[in-house]
Amino acid sequence: MSHRVRRPVIAGNWKMNKSPGETTAFFREFLRAHQPREDRTVIVFPPSLSLAAARVAALERPDVGLGVQNIHWEASGAFTGEVSAGMAADAGASYVLAGHSERRHIFGETDEQVGRKVAAALAARLVPVACVGETLDERRADRLRDVLLRQLDAVLDAIPADAAEKLVLAYEPVWAIGTGVNATPADASDAHRILRDRLAERYGASAAGELPILYGGSVKPDNAAELLAADGVDGLLVGGASLDPAGFARIIAA
Ligand code: PGA
């Protein structure tokens, strides 16, 4: 896949961190440390309540894309506490995470719900970053392939074939998220290969080769370059290390 010329995507998932005020402070420092570059696509996923602050802070930096971490699949209605894809788009989001492992494992999101969220995102012209990944038990039980394909197929089954090219995927092994234990570049390549082969089966090799697959799980400034260089890895989804403006800028530059 090294022939692909697409720009690596470096995305920061802040999770439930940074108030609006803290978001403003982050961007003040981050936009000094990180200058626009042609060879990276940069996305920040703040909490929904901090999106407006991020949007204002990055007004003069359209090179930094913004997204939300979760949406509901319905457009509006009696869903207390939820936000819709259309609201996120109107508030300045261009991207949305779907199926992050914390949503699946802490909040009980199902494959089917993740599929509906991805479809809702596309309908609102947001780019969905659909996350898949196995737990340590599943990996030890040799179920990596089964789990990844079950999660991926649920997303692909929920959208028309001609919409698949608008997706971004993220492989995030659950055992590597927030643990300080990153997957090796070889582990990441193997998992990305499983996903890419399925995309090729469903849509053809050329379409499959165009779809970015990010790696996430304990990415740090000092392992970012080797993970990004791994075969089939088109970018990084960074959690904890994206909270530090200088550190996130270093990861982008890796
Ligand atoms: P981490 O999180 O980088 O803190 O491991 C990654 C993620 O959950 O997206």
Residue with CA nearest ligand 1 atom 9? 239
SS (H, E, C) the chain: CCCCCCCCEEEEECCCCCCHHHHHHHHHHHHHHCCCCCCCEEEEECCHHHHHHHHHHCCCCCCEEEEECCCECCCCCCCCCCCEHHHHHHCCCCEEEECCHHHHHHCCCCHHHHHHHHHHHHHCCCEEEEEECCCHHHHHCCCHHHHHHHHHHHHHHCCCHHHHHHCEEEECCHHHCCCCCCCCHHHHHHHHHHHHHHHHHHHCHHHHHHCCEEEECCCCCCCHHHHHCCCCCCEEEECHHHCCHHHHHHHHCC
pTM of the model: 0.96
* Cβ(249)–Cβ(30) below 8 Å: yes
Task: Tell me which amino acid residue 200 is.
Answer: A
For the cut 70, the answer to whether the pLDDT of residue 2 exceeds it is: no
Q: Which is more confidently placed, 207 or 2?
A: 207
Among residues 102, 109, 134, 172, the one annotated as catalytic is 172
Residue with CA nearest ligand 1 atom 6? 239
Give pLDDT, residue 221.
98
Among residues 100, 109, 134, 192, the one annotated as catalytic is 100
User: pLDDT digits over 52-73, tens only?
Assistant: 999 999 999 999 999 999 999 9
**CA distance readout (Å), 224 to 90, 116, 148, 220, 231:** 33, 32, 23, 6, 14
* 100 in catalytic set: yes
For the cut 80, the answer to whether the pLDDT of residue 6 exceeds it is: no
Instruction: List, chain by chain if needed, residues with CB within 6 Å of any ligand 1 atom.
Output: 13, 172, 177-178, 216-219, 237-241
* 105 in catalytic set: no
Residue with CA nearest ligand 1 atom 7? 239
Angle at 226 between CA 140 and CA 172, to 5 degrees: 40
Give pLDDT, residue 24.
98
Give pLDDT, residue 5.
58
Task: Round to whole Å and give the CA distance between 2 and 9.
Answer: 15
For the cut 90, the answer to whether the pLDDT of residue 1 exceeds it is: no
User: pLDDT digits over 148-190, tens only?
Assistant: 999 999 999 999 999 999 999 999 999 999 999 999 999 999 9
Which residue segments constitute the domains of the chain, with CATH numbers given?
Answer: 9-252 (3.20.20.70)
Name the average pLDDT for the chain: 96
Give pLDDT, residue 21.
98
For the cut 50, the answer to whether the pLDDT of residue 195 exceeds it is: yes
For the cut 50, the answer to whether the pLDDT of residue 201 exceeds it is: yes
User: pLDDT digits over 33-58, tens only?
Assistant: 999 999 999 999 999 999 999 999 99
- Closest atom of ligand 1 to 240 CA is 4
Mean pLDDT of 236-251: 98
Residue with CA nearest ligand 1 atom 3? 239
- Closest atom of ligand 1 to 102 CA is 8
**170 has which bridge partners?**
131, 214
72: tokens are 């509901």
Give pLDDT, residue 3.
43
* CA of residue 132 to ligand 1 center, whole Å: 13
Contacts of 39 (CB under 8 A, 6+ apart): 7, 8
Mean pLDDT of 191-200: 98
Mean pLDDT of 195-224: 97
| Proportion of the chain above pLDDT 90, given as a percent | 98
Count of all residues that appear for the chain in the document:
254
Neighbours of 4 (CB within 10 A): 11
